[in-house]
Chain A
């Protein structure tokens, strides 16, 4: 009976377990619930089987390297090419970080300000939506015409891609006003600034983190895409370079690096969410 009840009401179960797995509710992402050793083992096992299977079948069926290189070749390419690759990695990271910092700060401040004025918010929202839904990659050729083949057009594209994402999610967070909590702070003599930093921001934090996560992943996409469009540096540029030379192990080595960067971003924000927004179940 107890068992059945527990199964039917997962929320209850979670609470009873000490609320160990509170995640970001607004985000559709999840690292999954806390894993047992066995589950981790199975995940690793599957990875081994896939990689080993690919390696084996590529050897067995004699698949040419330019169709799909063997995993072992990819890894060895990663090591041998590393000295040529890392400057490009740094450039991509630099573009991503700068563009994201600019975009996210503007997006965050705009969200915080705009949500205070319902009229302004109603006017601005459709334009922000337009920015969110239009792929900013499309603007890159234009930006290159204007700013040349340096990092600037790509930084701008990253900012344009991540900013609206941060803005729209943070605005959702800031809109969740709880008048009683604000009244509570005011009854203890809080100033407007204190209400903002001690009540509004913490209350919006879960959504802000979701915005930062989505925004930075969009930023990475845009940075790589922009590098593929023009210029002579960055991981995106290397992708086109190696594929033009049909050097597939190197090409896939870069894909491996990109996958790692994406996962790192995700894990970082997931950790941040656990730290700062785990109160929201």
Chain B
């Protein structure tokens, strides 16, 4: 199921990645050869900034007990997610992004520290918080309509038909209600899962590398869609990714995590006006920001993050 067309998609993905790298390095060698590593194009901000805080993470630590000892996945992570902002959490593989997000969703208990939504401590899943998973995570035995009704079924409420239909229309899935997940493309599946999460009208959306498994074209499309949805709904979004350019493209702020133990290394403000077009990713300023963050990550931990 998974591998269907994957060869083609992977080739495409590779090709686009290579183009990306070429264009980035081309820009680098053409005009911006002198980008000094210290010059900041993105500003760092501290927690003292004056904004309404939607979710507050304080000194959150989490370690997993494994046979070979404890793994410190999170180490005293403190982070504010502001009301209505688009926050991207960026970090290399294995640095604890998923652990952080699952804890924010109340799916994990922390070893120490706490996470609050407003004043409420999050210890179990909260109806205001919805999670979107990496591969769309639709239930293969249910058709699209039934998949989207799942949250209502679990909450023992009649489905909000009007809202669901509007959302389906919005993401271009109207008319596909009777299709099963295996009959839909990866992008369509992820759009369905976005509809499923939005259907219950949460105020916080947590997204864990939602577009990581998609080919580059679909990914661009989805990035535009999620930007539009965010601009229309102004939900608070925490979006995990390991792609620097995706993070910058989407975010108001980018929180960079470092690995082992997982920490917030730095937070960047991104002041690019919206709506942002896909093209801006090839503009020198944008590339400068990508390289800046990349160099800092490499400088900090020697960890590797792909420029894609």
Contact = CB atoms under 8 A, between A and B. Distances in A.
Interface of A: 11-12, 15, 19, 180-181, 183-190, 194, 198-199, 202-203, 205, 276-277, 279-281
A180 B133 contact: yes
Contacts of A12: 4
A186 B124 CA distance: 9
28 contacts: A15-B182, A19-B183, A180-B133, A181-B139, A183-B107, A183-B131, A183-B133, A185-B150, A186-B107, A187-B125, A187-B129, A187-B130, A187-B131, A188-B125, A188-B150, A188-B151, A188-B154, A188-B155, A188-B200, A189-B155, A194-B154, A198-B150, A198-B153, A198-B154, A203-B141, A277-B141, A279-B180, A281-B182
A279 B141 contact: yes
Interface string B134-152: 1101011100000000110
B102 A183 contact: yes
A181 B137 contact: yes
A202 B139 contact: yes
Interface in B100-144: 102, 105-107, 125, 127, 129-131, 133-135, 137, 139-141
Nearest to B108: A183
B140 A279 contact: yes
Interface of B: 1, 4, 102, 105-107, 125, 127, 129-131, 133-135, 137, 139-141, 150-151, 153-155, 180, 182-183, 200
A165 to B, nearest CB: 23
B107 A187 contact: yes
Contacts of A186: 107, 125
B291 to A, nearest CB: 34
Contacts of A184: 131, 133, 137
Contacts of A276: 141
Contacts of B182: 15, 19, 279, 281
Chain B interface SS verdict (over half): loop
Contacts of A202: 139, 141
B107 A199 contact: no
Nearest to A18: B183
Contacts of A199: 139
A15 B179 CA distance: 13
A67 B107 CA distance: 71
B154 A185 contact: yes
A233 to B, nearest CB: 42
Contact of A280 (B135, B140, B183, B200): B140
A118 to B, nearest CB: 14
Interface centre among B1, B102, B140, B141 (most CB of A within 10 A): B141
A185 B137 CA distance: 10
Nearest to A201: B141
Nearest to B156: A194
A186 to B, nearest CB: 6
A274 B72 CA distance: 46
Contacts of B107: 183, 186-187
Contact of A15 (B4, B137, B139): B4
